Chain A
């Protein structure tokens, strides 16, 4: 008989199978992920809440029988039945085709399973066609660096601090009077040089005593050993404020809003990797702007003209009240279809150039348009009013390099809008 402990075997033997299975039910998973994104708040995009996927399209076919024909069952009865008694058939039992019953060939029951956080983020990024390099850096947990923090009496052998250990050992050897090699040599010399037996015996006794001491007092004792101690210290992080600006005038369609939401989520995900806390402020505008909560931001629709400067005003107001730039890293993400009142241009330009861009870390402007795959001929478009304005602002503030602009018509474009930001953070780190 042999007993084997398999508990330490590598876990996740079925991961490869799971991957294959997820590929199989890709459509179901994608739907579940989209639903989850729609339901989740922007700041919850990578929360630990479970993502349940309901699967029903993975039948494994085989020959199965129906309830048609003569079937006989011998079953454990309740003891009250007699010959000739009748029992109702279960619902849906007698029908053609779908009349499957317990124990006979039955179709697959749909079932639910739970996606892991990594799998969810993977699908989320997949929708955005985010490059793999960015995926890994985004789905990693919070960055922290090991930092020296004194010494410890326990630790890994590789962290052994030899210098400190030997210093302790030396001090202890001196304190306890461990005979040194020189002292022993001297005693041996005395034995050699002894002239009388008594002198030699005394020297020999001293040598024996010294040898005993040497054995009793270790050269390096466990109490001498010191290890370098490291603590993992989170990267210095301050707080960030993220302003989401969106044009909610009637020209923004649901598709555009969905793109906007994904863009905001991605930005939030990115920011929450870098900063301890990310405050999100939602500002929507038509010709007037107001700070609103997330639901209102994405759900409600207003009619009216478009004055972008109103949103910028509100943003500055909120910022001055709550987010001083020396304590917060300020990020602005604006989504619009590009309409703006012609008379507003001067004011927007001045606000951007003089107040906003010098203060914020990054200003991302995303211009949405109708799904281009649905309207391939709409590929060529004229410059919108707002685009034109911002282009000039960007040219004027080229040294700051804080304004990024993108046109987005599908999910793949969303990440590209943030590509500049990632590139920038790469440079900053280098």
Chain B
């Protein structure tokens, strides 16, 4: 087969040919299943634009996006930070942004990485299937943008910003972690309309003034019963703070509720991505590596292109180690790629150690089927717990550092040897548990008969505490949404002992 391109230049025909060649390999040989692709060529400024709005092509207006843009731009202009080669959006068709500055080889890398790697992951991983509605996200963003604009025109930018600021602060507490039903973003706009027209009819236990309540004020027994009932209706405790405010806040106007809902649904949309960084990037990196290697074997890219690709690839999967100036935690590309590559090796060429660790698939001879299964059914936490093998731990020379606030130094508790493997794998998996990504904060109670204050609880695991100053500021945001005071209690998860109390005012 002839070369797809020679030199660095490309045009749209070249992109089309590259895409066809990659598709041939990815779908034909590797069995990947993808949404249709849409490749969009953009400039570096547009890439910065996309950065600042969480990589989404259209977003409602808010100053924080302007801030991120200003910061990213400053970093980029001064050369502190390069731009990504691509951004890919979990939608159908799957939109991949590629930069016009990329060379033809880089475009090949990007197409293999985004249009097939990420795309396959988006389409097949259970979290994305459960939580995101790829067909409808673009439509929903359009709706959100025009709704926010409409609110700004009607109620003023300041009023809208007040709600959006508050909701943004709580967006990590605006997530349903356990699905009740499959998400249908497509119907959101209609549902919003229906909700608004039924607003008056909605039953709100906080605002209720029925005869029984008068008796409840004086008789403790009746009061307890009424409170029980109300609590049951509020479905307390509730893990999703934004949802709770949106549904039950006594002070929010209908349009404000809708704004909260928009922020909440977008946070929910990103929730799977937060949980699958390693798996997703590992999948995409592995795919681009395999696809480009195959392209070279088939004589479709030159030796020079292969070297250029390997150069980019190795900088993408560079993992600085502890003590290195560049070290800033795990590089999900490096970790993910290493795990995927290890699974492939175990499938094809296992040794005794691999057979002991991975009896289920060692030597099964079909790495692609195994990997497709991994990509479909695991998030980071599960991926690491089950598929992080000793060879990868040794390759990264993983160590376990214990940080105890009582001690003045970090201590090395485990290293990558036979005694440490299990514990290292399980602790690293915990690091990717959603509970570690953002603190878990539940709505515990509402003072129904008193000052209507909201009570939140942070179950503190192993003495990990909230930053008091930030907590107070965030509670102030919660108060904006709830309308009354908000308390936050930090409790030790095991003993139930109260560690700290925070209040919004």
B400 in contact with A63 (CB, 8 Å): no
Task: Knowing A23-B63, A69-B405, A107-B470 are in contact, say whether A74-B415 is a contact too (CB < 8 A).
Answer: no
A9 CA to B168 CA, complexed, in Å = 29
Within 8 A of A (CB), among B172-197: 172-173
Nearest residue (CB) in B for A71 is B403
A59 CA to B438 CA, complexed, in Å = 17
A102 CA to B330 CA, complexed, in Å = 11
A20 CA to B65 CA, complexed, in Å = 9
A3 in contact with B12 (CB, 8 Å): yes
A198 CA to B240 CA, complexed, in Å = 103
A83 CA to B400 CA, complexed, in Å = 9
A63 in contact with B412 (CB, 8 Å): no
Across the interface, which residues of A come within 8 angstroms of B328, CB to CB? 102-103
Against A, the Cβ 8 Å flags (1 = close, 0 = not) of B226-241 are 0000000000000000
| Residue B43 lies at the interface, judged by CB distance under 8 Å to chain A | yes
Within 8 A of A (CB), among B458-494: 458, 460-471, 473-474, 476-477
Across the interface, which residues of B come within 8 angstroms of A86, CB to CB? 409-412
CB distance from A63 to the nearest CB of B (A): 5
Against B, the Cβ 8 Å flags (1 = close, 0 = not) of A86-107 are 1111000010010010110101
Against A, the Cβ 8 Å flags (1 = close, 0 = not) of B12-41 are 100110011001000000000000111111
| Residue B431 lies at the interface, judged by CB distance under 8 Å to chain A | yes
Across the interface, which residues of A come within 8 angstroms of B410, CB to CB? 86-89
Q: Which of B15, B23, B74, B402 has a CB less than 8 Å from the CB of A70?
A: B402
Chain A residues touching B, range: 35 or more
Across the interface, which residues of A come within 8 angstroms of B396, CB to CB? 76-77
A73 in contact with B470 (CB, 8 Å): no
Against A, the Cβ 8 Å flags (1 = close, 0 = not) of B43-78 are 101101100110000000111111101110111010
A59 in contact with B403 (CB, 8 Å): no
B398 in contact with A68 (CB, 8 Å): no
| Residue B100 lies at the interface, judged by CB distance under 8 Å to chain A | yes
Q: Which of B62, B173, B399 has a CB less than 8 Å from the CB of A75?
A: B399
B465 in contact with A65 (CB, 8 Å): yes
CB distance from A108 to the nearest CB of B (A): 9
Across the interface, which residues of A come within 8 angstroms of B115, CB to CB? 1
B69 in contact with A17 (CB, 8 Å): yes
Q: Most chain-B Cβ atoms within 10 A of its Cβ — which of A75, A88, A103?
A: A75
| Residue A18 lies at the interface, judged by CB distance under 8 Å to chain B | yes
| Residue B42 lies at the interface, judged by CB distance under 8 Å to chain A | yes
The interface stretch among B215-223, B293-301, B422-430 is B422-430
Across the interface, which residues of B come within 8 angstroms of A24, CB to CB? 63, 67
A6 in contact with B40 (CB, 8 Å): yes
| Residue A11 lies at the interface, judged by CB distance under 8 Å to chain B | yes
| Residue B441 lies at the interface, judged by CB distance under 8 Å to chain A | yes
A68 CA to B61 CA, complexed, in Å = 37
Task: Knowing A77-B399, A89-B403, A107-B470 are in contact, say whether A14-B74 is a contact too (CB < 8 A).
Answer: no
A88 in contact with B409 (CB, 8 Å): yes
A23 CA to B61 CA, complexed, in Å = 14
Across the interface, which residues of A come within 8 angstroms of B463, CB to CB? 68-70
Task: Knowing A3-B15, A6-B42, A74-B424 are in contact, say whether A65-B467 is a contact too (CB < 8 A).
Answer: yes
CB distance from B135 to the nearest CB of A (A): 16
B38 in contact with A63 (CB, 8 Å): no
B403 in contact with A2 (CB, 8 Å): no
Across the interface, which residues of A come within 8 angstroms of B66, CB to CB? 14, 16-22
CB distance from A329 to the nearest CB of B (A): 40
A62 CA to B460 CA, complexed, in Å = 17
Q: Which of A70, A73, A102 has a CB less than 8 Å from the CB of B400?
A: A73
B71 in contact with A113 (CB, 8 Å): yes
A14 in contact with B65 (CB, 8 Å): yes
Q: Most chain-A Cβ atoms within 10 A of its Cβ — which of B46, B75, B171?
A: B46
| Residue A79 lies at the interface, judged by CB distance under 8 Å to chain B | yes
Across the interface, which residues of A come within 8 angstroms of B157, CB to CB? 20
Task: Knowing A9-B46, A77-B321 are in contact, say whether A83-B415 is a contact too (CB < 8 A).
Answer: yes
A18 in contact with B70 (CB, 8 Å): yes
Nearest residue (CB) in B for A67 is B405
A73 in contact with B465 (CB, 8 Å): no
Across the interface, which residues of B come within 8 angstroms of A18, CB to CB? 66, 69-70
A18 CA to B64 CA, complexed, in Å = 9
Across the interface, which residues of B come within 8 angstroms of A74, CB to CB? 398-401, 424, 427-428, 431
B73 in contact with A72 (CB, 8 Å): no
| Residue A223 lies at the interface, judged by CB distance under 8 Å to chain B | no
A107 CA to B469 CA, complexed, in Å = 10
B464 in contact with A70 (CB, 8 Å): yes
Q: Most chain-A Cβ atoms within 10 A of its Cβ — which of B62, B77, B410, B439?
A: B410
B41 in contact with A3 (CB, 8 Å): yes
| Residue B404 lies at the interface, judged by CB distance under 8 Å to chain A | yes
CB distance from A52 to the nearest CB of B (A): 9
A114 in contact with B74 (CB, 8 Å): yes
Across the interface, which residues of B come within 8 angstroms of A70, CB to CB? 402-405, 462-464
B322 in contact with A76 (CB, 8 Å): yes
A9 CA to B458 CA, complexed, in Å = 46
B474 in contact with A63 (CB, 8 Å): yes
| Residue A377 lies at the interface, judged by CB distance under 8 Å to chain B | no
Across the interface, which residues of A come within 8 angstroms of B62, CB to CB? 17, 20
Across the interface, which residues of B come within 8 angstroms of A67, CB to CB? 403, 405
A2 in contact with B65 (CB, 8 Å): no
Task: Knowing A2-B38, A113-B73 are in contact, say whether A68-B470 is a contact too (CB < 8 A).
Answer: no
CB distance from A100 to the nearest CB of B (A): 7
B397 in contact with A79 (CB, 8 Å): yes
B467 in contact with A89 (CB, 8 Å): no
Q: Which of B413, B470, B474 has a CB less than 8 Å from the CB of A83?
A: B413
| Residue A82 lies at the interface, judged by CB distance under 8 Å to chain B | yes
Across the interface, which residues of B come within 8 angstroms of A84, CB to CB? 411-412
| Residue B450 lies at the interface, judged by CB distance under 8 Å to chain A | no
A128 CA to B328 CA, complexed, in Å = 46
B474 in contact with A87 (CB, 8 Å): no
A84 CA to B415 CA, complexed, in Å = 10
B323 in contact with A78 (CB, 8 Å): yes
A113 in contact with B74 (CB, 8 Å): yes
CB distance from A61 to the nearest CB of B (A): 4
A103 CA to B16 CA, complexed, in Å = 40
A6 CA to B464 CA, complexed, in Å = 47
A17 in contact with B15 (CB, 8 Å): no
A60 CA to B65 CA, complexed, in Å = 11
Nearest residue (CB) in A for B470 is A64
Across the interface, which residues of A come within 8 angstroms of B405, CB to CB? 67-70, 94
A65 CA to B474 CA, complexed, in Å = 13
Task: Knowing A70-B464, A76-B330 are in contact, say whether A59-B400 is a contact too (CB < 8 A).
Answer: no
Within 8 A of A (CB), among B406-446: 408-416, 424, 427-428, 430-431, 438-439, 441
* 5 more CB-based (< 8 A) A-B contacts, given A7-B46, A60-B64: A3-B15, A20-B157, A64-B470, A76-B396, A83-B412
Interface residues of A (CB under 8 A from B): 1-7, 9, 11, 13-14, 16-24, 55, 58-79, 81-89, 94, 97, 100, 102-103, 105, 107, 111-114
* 7 pairs, A vs B, C-beta closer than 8 Å: A1-B23, A21-B69, A55-B70, A63-B172, A72-B401, A72-B430, A86-B409
A-B pairs with lowest CB-CB distance, top 9 = A69-B463, A21-B66, A17-B66, A61-B473, A20-B63, A69-B464, A77-B399, A113-B70, A74-B428
